[in-house]
Amino acid sequence: MAAVDAEYGRLFLHGNQENIPLKAIILLAYQSFGVVYGDLSTSPLYVYRSTFAGRLRLHESDDEILGILSFIFYTLTIIPLIKYVFIVLNASDNGEGGTFALYSLLCRHGKLSLLSNQQDDDQNLSTYKVVTPKQTQLGLRVMNLFEKHPHLRKGLLIVVLLGTCMVIADGVFTPAISVLSAVTGIKVAAPDLPEGVVTAVSCGILFCLFVLQHFGTRRVAFLFAPIVIAWLICISIIGVYNIVVHNPRGIWSALSPIYMYKFLKITGKDGWVSLGGVVLCITGTEAMFADLGHFNQVSIKIAFTTAVYPALLLGYFGQAAYLSKNRNDVSESFYKSIPTPVFWPVFLIATLAAIVGSQAVISATFSIVKQCVSLYCFPRVKVIHTSREIHGQIYIPEINWILFLLCLAITVGFRDTTTIGNAYGLAVMSVMLVTTCLMALVILLVWGRSIFIALGFLIFFGSIELMYISASIMKVPQGGWVPLVISFVFLIIMYIWNYGTSKKYQYDFENKVAMHTLMNIGQTMGGVRVPGIGLYYTELVTGVPPILAHLFTNLPALHEFLVLVSIKHVPVPYIPLQERYLVGRIGSKDLRLYRCVVRYGYKDIHKDDDGFEDKLIEKLGAFIVAEDDVESETCSSDERDDGMMQASGMYRSSSLVHAVDNELTVKERFGRKKQPLAKSELSCNEPTPQVNGKKRVRFQSPDFKQPDPAILRELELLREHKERGVVYILGHSYVEATNASSILKKFAINVVYTFLRRICRGPSVILHIPQASSIEIGVVYRV
């Protein structure tokens, strides 16, 4: 049954997706036209022009036209239809798709993540679905190989980042080539119009497009699907018209693959280079997988197979039929093939469809950059949620204006869709090749299929994509160098940021302080406890971070209640609110030192939530109530080594909230004056089950009894100190490479990483911490 989730504002498909009502599937399929297929649908505007823009020329024979059309037909059939619709869409991560979804699947099924902040309790998340198939022997060997060798895991991360960088490059080229191709149609109606006017109009449209990103598209989003559907209808009707009028019989010969061989035999190297234009017919295909989370597999498959795929084929076959009789019109084949009475309506729809396709790619770029930030692969940027109703409607100011400047530079610098297409094709195929490589690993390691199936998938689709990449590489001097430069710059930024963050976390982990050591420092220095609650932010999920010892050594005073707050991201797309918080106690009760781990998925949005402080303290109060009545899990060895309470462990907040008779009981104690706490009791009459060798407790709520006075006293103290004030304590770190480091490492850490940390958003901005209540501690990390 389909139900709308208020938190995410997106359609959640509860239970078995096969039981989704047909009406809901059709509605999702209709909405997917405006979000998923805008870029792919507008490709007929520039494919033939880009293909025949080089030294390739049309001769009296139709073999060149039929050969190119045959390549287009089989490329559309093999890549979007067979590869994505029938195979790749089945590799979703809890309904989410894209490069990071595949990487997330691999990280959950094996220890492939480079950041070691994952906990066993993460596996109990409802979205942490790991269905472990029966692994083949070769599959186990490959998995062990990745787990034992960090260099292989780094290589895998670089492949993922490369695909991500090419997606960002798509966000630069798609608006430029789509809008410029649509506006170029003006010159068909007004041949004497200067080229500069077309460029100026295109730049004006692009400027308006990027300026409007700040306001979001929620008010006009309902128009996206009708515009794309109208465009598909237009190219279908025009395609049928051209086939009937110009070449009703001969054009269908292109269905035979023999014409691809004839084309390459006749044209030779020039024909091979022209394939870099053919690849543009599948631009936007990756969006089917990347935007899977907004819809579902069935709806995207229905939309593509019943509408997009047939419309594109009719459009391409129609243009080829027109060119078979009008060979000199190849530079503007689409607009010149339009019947004169409907030229301006089709031109208007084409321009609107190009804008819709560009908007979808820009939004996808924002989304993937946000995922990179969540997985510590991109500097911190400000993410603004532009809609309370529609999930995924986010705006990142820094990325928006970087995309605009790059897009404007490409439009003004090239002024020609052919040169832009030379660069665009390389970016498109690189993303698809990365998806193919990751998908082969998913088939082997996640699905547990034979290595021959994985290799067959990799060789079959990879060879086709490498063929197109080789053709696109030949166009590097004619503009193909641009995506390489853009991707290389972003790849360096992302990898160095991930490397520096990992080294910083490793330093914290290796130098964490034992609790008894911290207390000994306090006794030696005459440490005192001051009123209030201190929320200390740390990336560590176990142990006491060294910065806290640094603070305590120089300022031997701690708040009466000190909570170590860790914001971490789990390799799942979303985490439900009721499972977001983990709360535990460190050391003895009289220390009043706690740990709270707040978990997010890589697609969760950090909203500006003024209630975060109240919610965190509410969960802390629920933990105090339930702690004595819960059979505690055994804490990790790291916690025991630090002298922490051995039976404290971590409790899922969902269990704690339900452990209290009424959740409002805890809320009221921190939002109102003193009130009696409701009676509650937790019993464990049922046998304790074991999961992964660890005990898990089943809770019941039988007759109530008076809570322990010590619990009431601690809750009362918590309320009083909350009223005294809550202080946020953050580490302001400076990371430097050690003197023994190599020159390359010193440059990466001391120059690039330091520069990125200076220009990126501070943690207080990302975490929405009030400036008046925050304290920053400066410390130098030598890694």
Is 569 domain-assigned? yes
Residues 477 and 526 in one domain: no
Domain termination site, one of 432, 464, 494: 494
pLDDT digits (tens, 9 = 90+) for 128-174: 565 556 667 777 788 888 878 888 888 888 888 888 898 888 888 88
For tokens 């699907």, name the residue: 225
pLDDT averaged over every residue in the chain: 78
Largest CA distance in the chain: 97
Range of the domain at 624: 512-630+710-782
**Identity of residue 196:** G
Residues 435 and 516 in one domain: no
Residues 487 and 516 in one domain: no
> What pLDDT, on the 0 to 100 scale, is given for residue 681?
33
Contact 479, 414 (CB under 8 A): yes
Check residues 396 and 527 and name the one with the higher pLDDT: 396
Domain termination site, one of 439, 466, 494: 494
Residues 468 and 593 in one domain: no
Helix (H) or strand (E) holding 601: strand 593-601
Q: Is 332 exposed, middle or buried, given 0-12, 13-18 or 19+ CB atoms closer than 10 A?
A: middle
Is 18 domain-assigned? no
Residues 293 and 399 in one domain: yes
Is 648 domain-assigned? no
> What pLDDT, on the 0 to 100 scale, is given for residue 228?
93
Contact 731, 545 (CB under 8 A): yes
Is 704 domain-assigned? no
Q: What is the mean pLDDT of residues 596-605?
A: 80
Task: Report CA-CA distances (Å) from 448 to 443, 444, 602.
Answer: 6, 5, 25
For tokens 């049922």, name the residue: 686
528/506 Cα distance (integer angstroms)? 31
Query: Does the structure show a pLDDT above 50 at 642?
Result: no
Q: Model pTM?
A: 0.78
Is 701 domain-assigned? no
Is 668 domain-assigned? no
Residues 737 and 771 in one domain: yes
559/535 Cα distance (integer angstroms)? 9
333/317 Cα distance (integer angstroms)? 12
Query: Does the structure show a pLDDT above 60 at 389?
Result: no
Q: Which residues pair with 782 in a beta bridge?
A: 736
Q: How many residues does the chain have?
A: 783
The CATH number of the domain holding residue 251 is 1.20.1740.10
> What pLDDT, on the 0 to 100 scale, is given for residue 77?
96
Supply 66's token pair. Answer: 């039929």
Residues 578 and 454 in one domain: no
Is 691 domain-assigned? no
Contact 659, 625 (CB under 8 A): yes
Residues 337 and 270 in one domain: yes
Radius of gyration, CA atoms only, the chain: 29
Contact 364, 291 (CB under 8 A): yes
Measured at the CA of 325, the angle between CA 319 and CA 327, to 5 degrees, comes to: 80
> What pLDDT, on the 0 to 100 scale, is given for residue 57?
65
What b/e readout covers 47-73, taking b as 16+ CB neighbours within 10 angstroms? Answer: bbbbbbbbebebeeebbbbbbbbbbbb
pLDDT digits (tens, 9 = 90+) for 73-126: 999 999 999 999 999 998 887 777 888 888 888 887 777 766 555 555 555 565
Supply 36's token pair. Answer: 């998923």
231/222 Cα distance (integer angstroms)? 15
**Identity of residue 444:** L
> What pLDDT, on the 0 to 100 scale, is given for residue 307?
94
Measured at the CA of 372, the angle between CA 368 and CA 373, to 5 degrees, comes to: 120
pLDDT digits (tens, 9 = 90+) for 53-69: 766 666 556 788 999 99
Residues 239 and 350 in one domain: yes
Is 667 domain-assigned? no
Measured at the CA of 636, the angle between CA 635 and CA 637, to 5 degrees, comes to: 120
Among residues 347, 396, 366, 403, which one has the least CA distance to residue 176?
A: 403
Q: What is the mean pLDDT of residues 334-338?
A: 91
3-class secondary structure per residue, 516-548: HHHHHHHHHHCCEEEEEEEEEECCCCCCECHHH
Residues 483 and 577 in one domain: no
**Identity of residue 353:** A
Residues 371 and 438 in one domain: yes
Residues 214 and 119 in one domain: yes
Domain termination site, one of 460, 494, 528: 494
Give the total number of structural domains in the chain. Answer: 2
